Amino acid sequence: MNRRELLKVASVLLGGTLSASLARGVLGESIAPAGELIAEAPLKKISVLCEMIIPKTDTPGAIDAGVPSFVAMMVSRWYTDAERRIFFAGLDDLDTYCVGHYAAAFLQCDAAQRIDALTSAENAAKNYRGSSFAFDGKSVDPNTPFFTKLKELAVLGYCMSETGSKQFLAYNPMPMRFDGDYEFAKVGTEWAW
Amino acid sequence: MAEVVTDFDAIVVGSGITGGWAAKELTEKGLRVLMLERGKPLEHGKDYVTEHMPPWEIPFGGRPPRELYAAEYPIQSSSYAFDETTRHFWINDKDNPYVCEPDKPFHWLRADVVGGKSLLWGRQVYRWSDLDFSANKSDGHGSDWPIRYADLKDWYAYVERFIGVSGQAENLPHLPDGEFQPPMAMTTLEKAAKQRIEAQYKNRKMTIGRVANLTEPLDNRGSCHYCGVCQRGCSVGAYFSSHSSTLPAARKTGRLTLRANSVVEGLDYDAPSRRISGVRAIDTQTGERRRYTARLVFLCASTVGSVQILLNSRSEHFPQGLANRSGTLGRYVMDHTSGLAAVGVSMEFPEKYWYGARPNGIYIPRFRNLGKRDADVDFVRGYGFQGMSMPLEWKMMGGQIPGFGAGFKQALRKPGGWIFALVGFGECLPYRDNRVLLDAKKVDRFGIPQVRFEVEFRDNEQRMRADINREAQAMLKAAGMTQVIPVGVEGPPGSAIHEMGGARMGRDAADSVLNAHNQAHDIPNLFVTDGACMTSSSCVNPSLTFMALTARAADYAVAQLRSGAI
């Protein structure tokens, strides 16, 4: 019996979900200290999650655009300790959910199961009104839930990337004129700024 | 022994909006000018190191490095114009502290490079009218201006022709039209809002901003490219700054010497001649002290900078500060009240977008108290609104569009409606006890006493703010917004970056620092032409008035020099 099956059996015996800390201990996650590179397992998870949020379609996806390393950089270098804790707890909660529902860690689940897990993270965030970044672009609410943090960072990393700016948005740094009655259909996508 | 340098006809302290003008005017009239700037050297074009920085090169995706800002730029980082692409122009708060009380905060926003805030300003330019110049006399707050619109009218035109201002003539007596290049366009939503607001409020107008960005080439400067990042510096020179316009004009004469890294510590007064006999400066890099002499001194070091220099120049002849026989030096300091009043959300024009980043918004001129005080209003004077519409795009909406995956991704790239923001700017009355002084104990890193602020907004400003917020919401509703969100941000004094006063002009030497020509009452060779000279604050952006006063004062000063009066 491998670890995954053991956990599946255990979860039935324990009546549902394993506690988060137990799952964390078993699955060996850790919180990266500030500034250090994020360990391989969380980085792989971040990659998968970013691509789930912004998949390759007829335009490049998050992995094509370098979003995972941007997100990892922001989490390790830009976040406060408290924000980092929320983020890593959220990553762990995905495993807890998956172990509880599918007796497998998030990365070992299939696409449909992963979607289900991420959806549960989104639902957990639904009651929290507001985003991390205020209208002024400067003030930050550090208490936003995991899913909000993840999605905002993925969107930021993607839309600010060269790939995202040029192949998903429309990159036009020197417009040379201003037209305030412009038909959106003429460009068909937002400008990259 | 401090080195003494005596080669110049005039010394201009400061290289910003007014310093640049003083240098241009004085050199063009034949004077050899020394310009002393405390900030670091900066070369137009070459030193705009972030001008074309694409989004993917901006650190942290454009998000502010919070620890750095909190530690070293807690005040400067509060400005809309401060981010990682402009930080190198701004002053470091940690290295350059000042003093204010916790219950009376003042945000003193400053640059630290040649050109000063002329690199970073919002470029909105509006003339004053006699409604503004007569205000003190009419309601008794402050003292009467020694000039009226007629004294400045031709100078406004002179300045506008040189700097290049785009705008729309509206024929409003209280907001005189300028000499305009073609106006920038409004968005579809702004046009609809204008039509509806003006239909509902017969005495209100919405116009396109009057902005010092070129819509047609002027001299060697190209017209605006609509890249939307003016504050990073513009090598084309499409917006007015000392670098794009006044410094090149001064340099062309061959009579300008510019010394950066030179902080002026004080001015020396010679009693027998009743003149400023020297300007003492400290090299910010080496600590060396130098003393410069000239026949004429123009203080253009910014409102608070100039007042600080005067206060620090006290002597046995001027024990309260240079030029301060009246006791008004440092007093009657003002800033506009400002803040985002309300935001409207509109779903009305889903197929409309924009092309180009317009470096300008709309403007709703003052409609309160245009004659006698309005019946239904509990404050004197008035306010105006700057505003703009913008599509709701990924930057603001991204995290809130529900879901994830292909459908979410597609929704990211289509705007979800438009927003329309209104930011109110309210006139601040001149209060004697709103003042700037030198701290009794603390000195800065050059040994110069730190500035201490004792400035607060008072009753009239608070009542006006309530009206600003109320009317912003009402007008957005009238404009047809689907949703109106009251915001009511109220920034502390200083946050409008329109600080003025402290060395006011006046008719009476017993009650003011400067006469009708920006000349110190008792000191004929000393002129102060930056915001310090302002006797009241109006509600319109002040820089155009600062420039016009400077050009006018320079003309007067040179005439006085030539006639032997100075």
pLDDT tens digit sequence for B272-281: 999 999 999 9
B352 touches chain A (CB under 8 A): yes
Structure-block tokens of residue B434: 């709103």
C-alpha to C-alpha distance for B563 and B566, rounded to whole angstroms: 8
* CATH number attached to the domain at B1-58+93-166+235-329+500-566: 3.50.50.60
* Model confidence pLDDT, tens digit, residues B508-558: 999 999 999 999 998 999 999 999 999 999 999 999 999 999 999 999 999
Taking only the tens place, the pLDDT of each residue in B120-145 is 999 999 999 999 999 999 999 999 99
DSSP annotation of A169 reads: S
For A193, name the nearest residue in chain B, comparing CA atoms only: B55
B416 touches chain A (CB under 8 A): no
Residue B351 C-alpha from the chain's centroid = 37
**What percentage of chain A carries pLDDT values higher than 70?**
79
**pLDDT of A30 higher than 80:** no
- Interface confidence, given as ipTM, is 0.95
Contact criterion met (CB below 8 Å) for B448 and B38: no
Indicate the pLDDT class of residue B216, thresholds 50, 70 and 90. Answer: very high
- B97 part of contact set with chain A, CB < 8 Å: no
Closest Cα of chain B to A138: distance in Å? 6
Answer for the pair B2, B280: CB distance below 8 angstroms, yes or no: yes
pLDDT at residue number A192: 96
Number of domains in chain A: 1
Number of H helices and number of E strands within chain B? 12, 20
Q: Which of A10-24, A36-50, B36-50, B549-563 has the lowest mean pLDDT?
A: A10-24
The residues with which B435 forms a beta bridge, in sequence order, are B454
Average pLDDT, chain A: 84
Domain boundaries, chain B: 1-58+93-166+235-329+500-566
Q: Which residues contact B249 (CB under 8 A, 6 or more apart)?
A: B24, B27, B28, B162
CB contacts of B406 in chain A (<8 Å) are 55, 57
| Distance to chain B for A99, nearest Cα, Å | 22
In the predicted model, is pLDDT for residue A66 greater than 60?
yes
Distance CA B308, CA B110 (A): 14
The answer to whether the CB atoms of A159 and B395 lie below 8 A apart is yes
pTM of the model: 0.94
Asked if the C-beta of B235 comes within 8 angstroms of chain A's C-beta atoms, the answer is no
B positions 169-188 inside 8 Å of A (CB):
184-188
- A116–chain B Cβ distance below 8 A for any pair: no
Q: Which residues in chain B are contacts of A169 at CB distance < 8 A?
A: 394, 413
- Chain A residues within an 8 Å CB radius of B414: 184, 189-190
User: Is the CB of residue B444 less than 8 Å from the CB of residue B89?
Assistant: no
Mean pLDDT over each residue of chain B, to the nearest integer: 97
d(CA B277, CA B295): 8
Structural domain containing residue A60: 3-192
Cβ distance of A180 and B54 shorter than 8 Å? no
The C-alpha atoms of residue B502 and residue B536 are separated, in whole angstroms, by 11
Chain A: residue whose CA lies nearest to B342: A135
Q: Does B52 touch chain A (CB under 8 A)?
A: yes
A146 interface with B at CB cutoff 8 Å:
no
Look at residue B562 and tell me whether its pLDDT is greater than 50. yes
User: Average pLDDT of B176-197?
Assistant: 98
Kindly state the DSSP code that residue B254 receives in the 8-state scheme. Answer: T
> Comparing C-alpha atoms, which of B8, B10, B9, B15 is closest to residue B300?
B15
B74 touches chain A (CB under 8 A): no
Q: Residue A134: its pLDDT value, please?
A: 72
